[in-house]
Structure 1
Amino acid sequence: MGTRITIHSIRIKNFRSIKNEYLEAKDMNIFVGLNDAGKSNVLKALNLFFCGETDYKTPFDFQRDFTYLYRPESHRPKEIAIEIKFEIPDSYKNAGLYTWRKIWKANGYKTDVVLDADGKRPTERSRIQVALQRVRYQYVPAVKSREYYKALLADVYMTASAVLDSPLEQSMKEFSAVLRDYTDQIHQEVARRIGIDSRLSIPQNMSEMFKTLVFETAGTSEDITIPLEMRGDGIQARHIPIILKYIADQAQKTRNRGASKATTIWGFEEPENGVELSRAFEMAEDFLEYSMDIQMFVTTHSPAFYNKKSDDRTRIFYTSRKEKGEGTKLSTAFNNAYLSATMGLMPLVAPYIEEKERELERTKQILNQNLLCDIPTIFVEGKTDKQYLELAIKHYSQDLYEKIKRGQLRIFTEEGKGGCSRLINWACAWIYSGYTSKAVVLFDKDEAGRKAHEELCGHEIYRGKRSTAEIQVKYLEPSDEILELYRKQLDLPYEIEHLLSVTCWGKLKEMNYVQPKENEELFVLLKRFLDRKRTIDNLIDDFVENVDVRDTIVTMSPIDKKKEQIACWVAQSSEEEQKEYLKGLERTIRKLEEVFR
């Protein structure tokens, strides 16, 4: 059952647009729907139940808040009823489900009763009613005015006053003494002319002083600060849940020893107001994290919040008013397609936006892990690509070799985490970081490399990169043998191993490090040339006159599990052998020299 008191279910009758609605709650309860559907009335009903108010700082008024859906011919009494069923955790002696019912009548009469699962009132010695009375409901209106922020700061003081009063008291006495000395002339003049002992003093109610406090936020320079109220609405809105969470935490710390655990519940209207969509996703994650300690009831129009439907601790309520006489209806029986049809454009683009947010988060993680740094970089698919490239640079480019030795250039891959998709993530992280050093993203020209190359070049982050982001996307250049095949219109896909020399491939065959390509690969390569008269073997013979080339790089592939062994074998060869084996990479090295010269 957990360790905190939570709302299990709510029944609301005859409150504003709500005629009679029941809902079962979870940790995070999100109400989504069109404007004027009645979403906020659920939160306002809770505000009436716990705080005696409806709208923010607005007292309850039966004539205004009683439902307009009441039919005059009805013989039922005019009353607003709110019934909340609470789950009391096992840390209490009498754990279980308890119903707290409040009824407001037109004549001002009010019923307020707590009942256990058997319909009986708890005994006088039971701590249940005291615990329920300590439930603190924080209602946050859709419009966060300056007055709301002031009241929030006063609430900070009221919550933490038990801790603050002692250290503040001494400081205030000292400040008062200085103040009195400084204004003694006023005191003497008032005494002489009016005959009253009048002195300036610090107010006893410190909450009033807290209302005048301001959050100072850092500006563009270290010596500049900007008051929060002068910041944009979005930054102010991001502060609210953080302040409320602090208040909830302080309520726990400052309770008397042996007292019931303080329970905080939020009723938060449209938290995304004024917040950019990308930040709204971050805010939704914050709310989900906070809901582990604080039960929440949230209204929203943002997919950042209502796309949390798949989370086990979250319940989404679609709020609607289908017909005039029915009032507000709450439903959990819907899917994303239904929301898309009813909520307009945002739900249609929400899955796309959410995926882009995940991409952005991946780039942030790469930066946070310090995998990248602002020096010229060559990104490669994997460990063996890096080994071959370093060896080829050593033999074919003294300039690049010296740059690598001096730390002015690096070839980057992540141990055990290579592959084309990682290259895309690294490139996006590089652009996102704002680095200005040159970078090259180097793909093999096999099927996976071509697909990734196309995806990255068409990616929004790459296409929208800053003019200062000198990052290029390239393929490994073909060897002389592969260029010859291109001239014959044979578009051979290749990995970095296919750029090793024919002599090297002959030895790899002898060591069983390579294997014949699947017939499907060869068919794709030659299908536009096939006819009834010529087989795949006939075509290969026609296109590839060099038998050694035909029997190696055209019809063979490296065995995946042997790639590291192949790279190690090449690295352990003599200097002369290495230079001969790696000559197919020389054209790639020349291109890299042009970039990093």
Structure 2
Amino acid sequence: MKIINKISVKYFRSLHTVEIKDCSSINVISGRNDVGKSNVIKALNLFFNGQADWDSDYSFYDNFSKKRLEEVRKDSIKGKQFVSIKIEFSRPENYHKSLPETFNVERKWFRDSKTFEQSDDLSALDKAKKLPSKLTTAQRALGRFLNKIHFEYVPAIKDRIYFNDLLRRLQFSLLDLTISQNQQLFETANTLADHIEGQITDLKMDFEKATNIHTTIQPPSTVSSLFQAFFISTQTDSGEVALKFRGDGLQSRYIASVLHYIASNSNDYYIWGYEEPELALEYSHASKMADDFSETYSKRSQIFLTSHSPAFISLAGENVSCYRATQENAITDVSNVLNSNNKELLRYEIGILDIQKEVHELYSKEFLKLKSVYEKIDQLELEINRTKMPMLVTEGKTDKIIIEKALEIFGENAPSILVRACDNSGGIGSSGGAGQLGRLIETIHPDDDRIVIALFDNDEEGQKEFSGLSKNFTEYNKNVKRHRNGIAWAIKIPEPDFREGYADAKNLCIEYLFDDGIISKKNERGEGLKFRKQPPKVTIGNVQLSLNLDHLDLQLKKYEKIETGKDIFSQEIINDLNLNDFRGFKELFNEIKEILQFI
């Protein structure tokens, strides 16, 4: 977000005459110590909040430029002792009918005056016919606009008073009564805590994402101190610990999360003046915080910050401006690092920034490498776990695709298995089939230490191989055999109720676990499974006869063989099916679950 385009300051502390141009959503002010960087933040705080320092009354003499005072005394120009801060604003979209695209507001604090004098350029813009409305309308809109701006000043030293004041914005008070003496009020306080807990989910998630620390809100013991007594509890390995007892770095990091939460839940405009956000933070947290400022917080607030950290100085992009503050003869100058005309004169100090940027980039690269290593470790752990998973081996690759889709559709009700095809040709030709599957399941060694199940089609070839398994296999039930080593199993596809007789017809392959409406589906090109009629054969003596079944009942569809289209069916047709379409797999999965009980 950006509503400030330019800041002009006169005679405020070390800012004798300074213009900060080309402001962005994030504005990083850097430079050596004690050159007046924070005076830009304090000038903004004076403009919006009437205070130069946090929670301190404004004093003209404490804040008037010492250099200007020397000039005034020398020239005896007593009437020109003032502090001026002028801001060029960019109009928010919802004011497009009342305010000009850009406009200036100046506030001056004169010597011995308790209030500022405000002026603007609306009259001049009206004369130039640059107002979208009447002058009186624009002036009323300007007042409303300025009242909707909240400047959040975060000092470099974030003491307990500041932190408690910030937390008050998340809390509210009740009557002065001891909660423990009133059960109903006790329940109310807990309900209130739960309500607030639910309302600040975004705040909690943002802080937890940044620090990996879970927080909760705890109810107070007395109602009179409800604002103060609601405290932030953080989760540690040793239990819950109040945030106020954690390190200064974590408390500082929580401030940014709170400010972002407040801005995100308001229709007003928020500007942050944040001094050295990296203080007390280790570099990894500072780096993450800088990314959060750039990628998240700046979308709801315009941010001005001072920093020495390469994590913030190295921020780049259209939403970031970086400024260099220098001081000579007690006068501070602030110039845009990218647009400065005297860049060569700044070469030495820019070199320091480049070194910091190089350090930050090196850290970022190493962090990415480390992240990559952890990802590989996770992948290896996953693969190790997969090597221990029970495995179902199918006759071919299309069977594998269909089974995996069925497992996905069944979700948590599916057996936990890994699926492989005994076709190891890599898609070139075909080396699978019932014969190879039979040979594979015979070779499973008990030292493999995981159950392997061979899934045979309940067709002529599958039934033959299933029946021909060695004597090491004994019948567990009519569709299941178990090897004596206890880890090798074989299953014939069981018949669903709508495929009765298909096993006797030696024609129950996995596609027939779907009903006729599914297996007859075509893709957009009109492609799908193709069938050829395979009438049963009758043998009389030594003569084998094929019967013409064209005139027989449709029940004899059980003899129709799938000729082509299995790839298209498995890769395209089944993709949009639902759980009911896969109901034919229920009995198969129940058989597999029963086997897995032997693990």
- What is the TM-score with the length of structure 1 in the denominator? 0.51
Instruction: Identify which of structures 1 and 2 has the higher relative contact order when contacts are C-alpha pairs closer than 8 Å and 6+ apart.
Output: 1
Q: Are residues 1:213 and 2:230 paired? A: yes
Partner of 1:131, secondary structure, is helix
Listed one character per residue, the Cα deviations across residues 345-382 of structure 1 (whole Å, up to 9, x for unaligned) are 64452321222233345456668xx6442664999xxx
How has the CA–CA distance of structure 1 residues 151 and 68 changed in structure 2, closer, same or farther, with 3 Å as cutoff?
same
Q: Offset at 1:51? A: 0.6
Listed one character per residue, the Cα deviations across residues 441-493 of structure 1 (whole Å, up to 9, x for unaligned) are xxxxxxxxxxxxxxxxxxxxxxxxxxxxxxxxxxxxxxxxxxxxxxxxxxxxx
How has the CA–CA distance of structure 1 residues 401 and 292 changed in structure 2, closer, same or farther, with 3 Å as cutoff?
farther
Q: How many residues align?
A: 346
Distance in 1 between residues matched to 2:185 and 2:312, nearest whole Å = 56
Match of 2:311 in 1: 304
Listed one character per residue, the Cα deviations across residues 2-42 of structure 1 (whole Å, up to 9, x for unaligned) are xx671111101111111111112110000111111111100
* Selected match of 2:110 from 105, 110, 113: 105
Q: Are residues 1:290 and 2:293 paired? A: no
Distance in 1 between residues matched to 2:53 and 2:257, nearest whole Å = 22
Match of 2:154 in 1: 140
Partner of 1:129, secondary structure, is helix
Q: Offset at 1:154? A: 1.2
Q: Offset at 1:139? A: 0.4
Q: Are residues 1:329 and 2:329 paired? A: no
Q: Offset at 1:113? A: 2.4
Q: Offset at 1:58? A: 1.3
Match of 2:366 in 1: 356
What are the within-5 Å matches in structure 2 for residues 117-516 of structure 1?
118-119=124-125, 122-123=135-136, 126-157=140-171, 175=179, 178=182, 202-203=223-224, 209-221=226-238, 224-250=239-265, 252=266, 261-288=267-294, 289-308=296-315, 310-321=316-327, 323-332=328-337, 333=339, 339=349, 341-342=351-352, 346-363=356-373, 371-373=379-381, 376=384, 403=448
Distance in 1 between residues matched to 2:370 and 2:55, nearest whole Å = 40
Question: Which structure shows the higher helix fraction?
Answer: 1
Which runs of structure 1 show a deviation greater than 4 angstroms over 4 or more consecutive aligned residues? 119-122, 172-177, 179-182, 334-340, 361-367, 374-379, 398-407
Calculate the aligned-residue CA RMSD, in Å: 3.9
Unaligned runs of 5+ in 2: 127-133, 187-220, 388-423, 432-438, 453-599
Match of 1:39 in 2: 37
Greater C-alpha radius of gyration? 2
C-alpha contact 1:269 1:300 (8 A) present in aligned 2: yes
Match of 1:68 in 2: 66
Listed one character per residue, the Cα deviations across residues 310-359 of structure 1 (whole Å, up to 9, x for unaligned) are 311100001111x2154333332468975553459644523212222333
Match of 1:412 in 2: none
Distance in 2 between residues matched to 1:138 and 1:246, nearest whole Å = 13
Q: Which amino acid aligns with 1:32?
A: S
Distance in 2 between residues matched to 1:225 and 1:293, nearest whole Å = 31
Q: Which amino acid aligns with 1:42?
A: V
Listed one character per residue, the Cα deviations across residues 544-586 of structure 1 (whole Å, up to 9, x for unaligned) are xxxxxxxxxxxxxxxxxxxxxxxxxxxxxxxxxxxxxxxxxxx
How has the CA–CA distance of structure 1 residues 173 and 145 changed in structure 2, closer, same or farther, with 3 Å as cutoff?
closer
Distance in 2 between residues matched to 1:201 and 1:355, nearest whole Å = 51
The 10-residue stretch of structure 1 (4-13 or 173-182) with the greater mean CA deviation from structure 2? 173-182
Match of 2:541 in 1: none
Match of 1:583 in 2: none
Distance in 2 between residues matched to 1:79 and 1:123, nearest whole Å = 29
Distance in 2 between residues matched to 1:270 and 1:311, nearest whole Å = 20
Distance in 2 between residues matched to 1:401 and 1:339, nearest whole Å = 70
Q: Which amino acid aligns with 2:136?
A: T
Q: Which amino acid aligns with 1:105?
A: F
Question: Which structure shows the higher strand fraction?
Answer: 2
Unaligned runs of 5+ in 1: 183-199, 253-260, 380-386, 408-597
Q: Which amino acid aligns with 1:91?
A: N
Distance in 1 between residues matched to 2:8 and 2:161, nearest whole Å = 32
C-alpha contact 1:43 1:139 (8 A) present in aligned 2: yes
Q: Are residues 1:80 and 2:88 paired? A: no
Q: Which amino acid aligns with 2:26?
A: M
Distance in 2 between residues matched to 1:354 and 1:372, nearest whole Å = 24
C-alpha contact 1:98 1:117 (8 A) present in aligned 2: no
Match of 1:9 in 2: 6
Distance in 2 between residues matched to 1:36 and 1:47, nearest whole Å = 19
Distance in 1 between residues matched to 2:148 and 2:121, nearest whole Å = 17
Q: Are residues 1:22 and 2:19 paired? A: yes
Q: Offset at 1:98? A: 1.9
Partner of 1:238, secondary structure, is helix
Q: Offset at 1:290? A: 0.9
Identity %: 26
